[in-house]
Amino acid sequence: MTATDTHRTIDAVWRIESARLIAGLARMVRDVGLAEELAQDALVVALEQWPQSGVPDNPGAWLMTTAKHRAIDRLRRSKLLERKHVELMHELEAEQEQTGLKMEAALDDPIGDDLLRLMFTACHPVLPMEARVALTLRLLGGLTTEEIARAFLLPASTIAQRIVRAKRTLTKAQIPFEVPLADELAARLSSVLGVIYLVFNEGYSATAGDDWMRPALCEEALRLGRVLVGLMPREPEVHGLVALMEVQASRSRSRVNPSGEPILLLEQNRAQWDRLLIRRGFAALDHAEKLGGALGPYTLQAAIAACHARALTADATDWHRIAALYGTLAQVAPSPIVELNRAVAVAMAFGPAAGLELVDTLRAEPALANYHLLPTVRGDLLVKLGRPDEARTEFERAALLTQNGRERELLNRRVQSCDGSASPKAPR
């Protein structure tokens, strides 16, 4: 294996293992900033040693062991009280004797999962909501600062500042890294759901890079969501989010062709949709609805996804119901992106002119100024209305704005075929 191949392997291992590594370290050292530093130290050692020694059989365990050694070294140099020093030393040294990556959870720990434990801890009320989500996404969601910034439609520098301030706040306030009490879990639930949702979205439609999807992120978000259902079975929105992810994930095999090129929803082979995931999604949606109360944003989005899943063909899609659901979603969780999706549904249900009228009201929206799907949708509708020259301009702008290579190729093909017909961009 060449040095370049080794570095690519290290990068892949880091993307897979970093979240669990940081979560396990944070539980031991009780400091999220220090946990991230220790994990990064282990990564540096891997970059120095693996090109010569080769990638170990269990790279995740190697990184954890190396990080624990670094933690012990730091503790030996620190000014900690002797009692706490000895306590943590014994804990860390005992962990080195184990071959697995996870510590045994305490018997009274209701979460039993390092990632979810740290998610709830990082989503502490001492932090603003935006900082909770950004910090957890950075540490545990596997996303870079730039990816989080694109998810929030904000500059990367803004997100970076939020993350730095959040870590400092947690350290200064000496927030204990432990499972919140049961009566505190619900208060932090919205933050945790937001984290899982954004991680899934980044996996489902990658905002940057050369791949249309990043399946590992989808799988991790689904895993976390399913564990969360077991933890909080009476929360409708937990079931709603899992329902949404199950149904969306069911389309994964049909969303790219053998060469990795994207296939949009209306063009997909629905026979390839995973019926098991769809059934699981329908069951979760049914559970959310039966728990009662007004439908929340995740349950409403799951209901929209279910409309697509129930249609055996694209033509059989109930766009009138989808438009109505988006109208309700716009009231429950108003946002420019929800309005853009509603415009697509309205166009499909009532014609492209009706959709374009809604899209044009969003052109002055600051949050969508650099959002590539706004000109994409507008270009689709202009093609439908027989205005290819205007559509070409929109597709060219969208191609410049997207950070995803596959999507840029798709948009450039649309630039070259503006005299054809195209369908408004349905949810992907």
pLDDT at 64 over 70: yes
Where does the pLDDT of residue 422 fall: very low under 50, low under 70, confident under 90, or very high at 90 and above?
A: very low
Angle between the 352-360 and 336-350 helix axes, to the nearest 10 degrees? 160
Range name among 32-36, 73-77, 101-105, 133-137 with the lowest pLDDT average: 101-105
Name, in order, each residue with C-beta under 8 angstroms of 20's C-beta and a sequence gap of 6 or more.
60, 101, 102, 114, 115
pLDDT in tens, 256-307: 988 888 899 999 999 999 999 999 999 999 999 999 888 999 999 999 999 9
Mean pLDDT of the chain: 86
Tell me, what's the pLDDT at 279?
Answer: 98
Please answer whether residues 209 and 265 qualify as being in contact, where contact means their C-beta atoms are separated by less than 8 angstroms.
no
Specify the 3-state DSSP secondary structure of 137.
helix
Alpha carbons 21 and 294: distance in angstroms, whole number = 38
Name, in order, each residue with C-beta under 8 angstroms of 251's C-beta and a sequence gap of 6 or more.
265, 268, 273, 274
Please name the residue ranges forming H helices in 205-251: 215-231, 236-249
Tell me, what's the pLDDT at 18?
Answer: 85
Out of 110-114, 230-234, 288-292, the most confident range is 288-292
pLDDT in tens, 160-178: 999 999 999 988 888 877 7
Q: Among 334, 380, 328, which Cα is nearest to 355's?
A: 380
Partners of residue 262 on adjacent β-strands: 256
pTM, to two decimals: 0.75
Please answer whether residues 404 and 207 qualify as being in contact, where contact means their C-beta atoms are separated by less than 8 angstroms.
yes
Tell me, what's the pLDDT at 91?
Answer: 66
Tell me, what's the pLDDT at 99?
Answer: 40
Tell me, what's the pLDDT at 112?
Answer: 55
Residue found under tokens 């539980």: 27
Q: Among 312, 316, 319, 222, which Cα is nearest to 272's?
A: 312
Tell me, what's the pLDDT at 313?
Answer: 95
Mean pLDDT value across residues 363-380: 95
pLDDT at 215 over 90: no
